């Protein structure tokens, strides 16, 4: 089983390898303009397209978007149906272009219980783009980090029960290898729009050492300038991963 990658320092150009985005504020964007929530979600899909282009333009190698959380099923049924419709439309309309541009699509999250047509589209997107070597676009769909962590713990427990794993051999790498992202580097930067300052059950294990940037704009207004502003904040951070960076002593002759 692939092992999770250990945290690594930023590349020499200060560009994060992996960016995660919590896309927040579609409904509030629409409300502020006297528009129906549907319009906010529709404009949010346009912002996803811009984010993918920006990630490619700025040499980001992995982009994870929080498209639909496991808690989002609690929304009104008509809004959930609308979101499912937008997902179908995005995959049908954009998958070919993503494929032409070398984007590899990965989907994380619970698939059991999904409608067959939704599950089929997700699998089609992964299968078509599996051999691509450009940006990896990870779509967190029906995803919740606590559920992911519990599922990983259950897998380990089953392996111990069946005699396939010694409990003493379980460490961080062994645990991470049973998450949804065993072959994906941990995010260096997580961006959240709308001004809210929380992770909302997004990549809780993987985000242990991520830099967090909270932008005061709603997701439909997210553009390349906003992406660049977040990258600039990231470039100004000192990432120590729990270590202490010793200041260089300057010796002067007496």
What's the confidence (pLDDT) of residue 239? 79
Q: How confident is the model at residue 7 (pLDDT cuts 50, 70, 90)?
A: very low
What's the confidence (pLDDT) of residue 240? 73
Q: How confident is the model at residue 246 (pLDDT cuts 50, 70, 90)?
A: low
Structural domains in the chain, CATH included, are 18-143+187-235 (3.40.1180.10)
The answer to whether 106 and 138 have CB atoms below 8 angstroms apart is yes
Which element (helix H / strand E) includes 68? strand 62-69
Q: Is 173 a catalytic residue?
A: no
- Give the Cα separation of 137 and 52 in Å (integer): 8
Q: Is 24 exposed, middle or buried (0-12, 13-18, 19+ CB in 10 A)?
A: buried
Helices 77-100 and 116-129 meet at what angle, rounded to 10? 20
- Give the Cα separation of 23 and 147 in Å (integer): 20
What are the pLDDT digits (tens) for 37-58? Answer: 999 999 999 999 999 999 999 9
Q: Which of 18, 108, 104 is nearest to 62 (CA)?
A: 18
Question: When comparing pLDDT for 248 and 127, which is higher?
Answer: 127
**Active-site position among 24, 180, 186, 188:** 24
Rounded mean pLDDT, 219-248: 86
What's the confidence (pLDDT) of residue 12? 44
- Give the Cα separation of 44 and 46 in Å (integer): 5
Pairing of strands 104-108, 62-69: unpaired
What's the confidence (pLDDT) of residue 253? 45
Q: How confident is the model at residue 13 (pLDDT cuts 50, 70, 90)?
A: low
* CA gyration radius, the chain: 20
What's the confidence (pLDDT) of residue 10? 41
**Active-site position among 72, 101, 132, 223:** 72
Of the listed ranges 12-16, 41-45, 234-238, the one predicted with least confidence: 12-16
- Give the Cα separation of 69 and 198 in Å (integer): 14
Q: Is 132 a catalytic residue?
A: no
What are the pLDDT digits (tens) for 87-116? Answer: 998 898 999 999 999 999 999 999 998 999
Q: How confident is the model at residue 8 (pLDDT cuts 50, 70, 90)?
A: very low
What's the confidence (pLDDT) of residue 1? 40
What the block records as the tokens of 177 is 């290898």
What the block records as the tokens of 58 is 């700025």
């Amino acid at each position: 089983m692939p092992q999770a990658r250990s945290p690594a320092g930023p590349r020499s150009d200060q560009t994060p390898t992996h960016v995660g985005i919590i896309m927040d504020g579609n409904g509030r964007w629409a409300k502020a303009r006297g528009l129906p929530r549907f319009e906010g979600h529709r404009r949010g899909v346009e912002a996803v397209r811009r984010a993918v282009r920006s990630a490619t333009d700025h040499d980001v190698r992995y982009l994870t978007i929080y498209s639909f959380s496991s808690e989002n099923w609690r929304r009104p049924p008509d809004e959930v149906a609308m979101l499912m419709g937008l997902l179908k439309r995005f995959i049908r309309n954009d998958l070919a272009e993503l494929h032409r541009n070398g984007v590899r699509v990965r989907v994380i999250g619970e698939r059991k219980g999904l409608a067959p047509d939704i599950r089929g589209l997700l699998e089609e997107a992964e299968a078509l783009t599996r051999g691509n070597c450009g940006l990896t676009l990870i779509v967190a769909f029906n995803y919740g980090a606590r559920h992911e962590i519990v599922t990983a713990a259950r897998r380990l427990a089953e392996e111990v029960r069946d005699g396939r794993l010694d409990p003493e051999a379980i460490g961080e790498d062994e645990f991470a290898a049973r998450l949804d992202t065993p072959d994906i580097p941990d995010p260096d930067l997580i961006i959240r729009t709308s001004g809210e300052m929380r992770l909302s059950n997004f990549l809780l294990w993987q985000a242990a050492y991520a830099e967090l940037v909270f932008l005061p704009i709603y997701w439909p207004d997210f553009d390349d300038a906003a992406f660049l502003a977040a990258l600039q904040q990231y470039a100004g951070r000192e990432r120590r991963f729990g270590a202490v960076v010793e200041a260089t002593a300057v010796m002067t002759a007496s």
